[in-house]
Structure 1
Amino acid sequence: MQHTRALATFSRAWQLLRAFRFEQSRPDIFYGALARDTASLIDALCRDTGLSLSGAKVLDVGGGPGYFASEFENRGALYFGVEPDAGEIAAAGITLSNSVRGDGTALPFADGTFEVVYSSNVAEHIDKPWAMADEMLRVTRPGGIAVISYTAWLGPFGGHETGLWQHYIGGEFARQRYEKVHGHPPKNVWGESLFAVSVREGLDYARDKELLAAFPRYHPAWAWAIVRMPVLREILTSNLVLVLRKKPA
């Protein structure tokens, strides 16, 4: 993973952390930065796995309002997005010709349609994340890659906007405290649009798959070894990336 490791620097992690504070107030800043980082990450993973992003058909599962499209198109990819929430698709006022409304656990595409299928920060927002992962692999062509990146529940950002420590007491406690402090429910509601997904679950899912890499997305490359450390990996991994190759039929 030479190119992917070269991307994983402390300065890159710091820039993304600084952009995170705008997630609620200026989503264009936060999601713009995340889109650039995601496209760069997928580009690096493609080069490391013998693929080319240029000319590739790429599916973004849970792509939201379209911040990611231009970043992939600038790299020569043919971008497609799937989003279950029509409100999310229209939220940023971005018009996409290749965006469809659909369920990540029942993707509206034929087997083996895409060279690259990825999902960024979606698995923790649905109650059946591994059914979505199965669907992602189904629509990936043999030899292509599926990339699943998600926020680990016991990591520092597991509670999302509800706080850095409140979710350690419990998701329901974090939600209630947020409502009490802010006077309205959080965007991500525990048990409805936010769920506990562990690092271990992702590694267990990938055990019988062709796993090319598993690493903490926002950490410098020298810290990637924490994924191999039970217990510590749950607390220190803010976001886990699983890179899976679709096996030939």
Structure 2
Amino acid sequence: MCITPYPDSTPNTSGYVTIPSMTSAHPARRFFRRISTALFTPAGNSALRFWRPKASLRRAVGLLSDFRYEQTRPDIFYGHLAEDTVGLIEALWRGATGRELAGAKILDVGGGPGYFGVAFGDAGAEYVTCEPDVGEMAAAGITLASSVRGSGMELPFIDEAFDITYSSNVAEHVPEPWVMADEMLRVTKPGGVMIYSYTVWLGPFGGHETGLWEHYVGGEFAAQRYEKKMRKPPKNRWGESLFNVSAADGLRYGQRIAAAGGAELVAAFPRYHPWWAWWMVRVPLLREFAVSNLVLVFRKS
């Protein structure tokens, strides 16, 4: 038996078995084409061209393995993460603007215990951190003259003060993450870059230390189970210091800001994934579970 494709509008008089054309407007075929495009179209753009070669599987595995040291050896965990972060921001800054990181003025919102300040200083950047928690600022015993205590939702800086504003794993800890994003854009210079990286709630690490699956049952369930198991309350408690932020929330924010003319969303990708898995950001629903940490890169108008 011979099989040949025919356009849907063409009568079949040949006696051959007809397979409907893939150009048909059938909804299932349109959906298939969209998914195929998402899967097989190379991810990334000019803003990511310097980061893509560094986003390897080896890097992803190395960072994942460091998580076991977060509580017991924070110097290892945060030291490696700080080095990776400098490389990330350096590549994104160069890709988005064509400029070098050395000499750039950077604001890190929620910079924590100081490891990042040391790493950025070594790279020649002028680093400032804004951190609301005094305990976090002093945790590593690292003193930074450029540390400022303040809230990310009301940054204590004048407009257009920084070349780069950056925040990592903070958005999910504030009740109004997009107010914080607006504040970061406010203090970014025109032509500068705002990099907003956060943990997606439905991803495997959405519950933070409360577990990999418990938060799927519910945030309060995860907190109570952690407290029962560890005999102490979790540092990150749902509804108080941990909130549900989705990948779709971030992408909608990017569309809104672009429509208002405030900034251009030049890249959106999973922070810890190898480059060949970046396509996951393009697929609704899948990205909520598979993109553990979403990075949004804005260039201010």
The normalised TM-score by structure 2 is 0.81
1:198 lines up with 2:246 in the alignment: yes
Aligned pairs (5 A) from 1:19-168: 19-49=66-96, 50-168=98-216
Matched letter for residue 75 of structure 1: A
SS of structure 1 residue aligned to 2:251: helix
Query: C-alpha distance in 2, partners of 1:170/1:226?
Result: 24
- Per the TM alignment, residue 193 of structure 1 is displaced from its structure 2 partner at its CA by 1.0
Quote the residue 1:186 is aligned against. Answer: 234
SS of structure 1 residue aligned to 2:197: strand
Equivalent of residue 298 in structure 2, options 222, 240, 244 = 244
- Per the TM alignment, residue 12 of structure 1 is displaced from its structure 2 partner at its CA by 0.4
Identity of aligned residues (%): 64
Deviates more, 1:8-17 or 1:23-32: 23-32
Query: C-alpha distance in 2, partners of 1:246/1:222?
Result: 28
Deviation string 1:165-207 (CA, Å, 9 cap, x unpaired) is 0000010000000001110011111111111110000000000
- Per the TM alignment, residue 74 of structure 1 is displaced from its structure 2 partner at its CA by 1.2
- Per the TM alignment, residue 89 of structure 1 is displaced from its structure 2 partner at its CA by 0.8
SS of structure 1 residue aligned to 2:268: strand
SS of structure 1 residue aligned to 2:163: strand
The normalised TM-score by structure 1 is 0.98
SS of structure 2 residue aligned to 1:76: coil
Quote the residue 1:10 is aligned against. Answer: 57
Query: C-alpha distance in 2, partners of 1:159/1:112?
Result: 34
Count of aligned pairs between the two proteins: 247
- Per the TM alignment, residue 51 of structure 1 is displaced from its structure 2 partner at its CA by 2.7
Q: Which is higher, the Rg of structure 1 or of structure 2? A: 2
Matched letter for residue 270 of structure 2: P
Query: C-alpha distance in 2, partners of 1:130/1:14?
Result: 30
SS of structure 2 residue aligned to 1:192: coil
- Per the TM alignment, residue 34 of structure 1 is displaced from its structure 2 partner at its CA by 1.1
Structure 1 outlier segments of 4+, above 4 Å: none
Matched letter for residue 177 of structure 1: R
Quote the residue 1:211 is aligned against. Answer: 265
Mind listing any 5+ residue stretches in structure 1 that lack a counterpart?
A: none
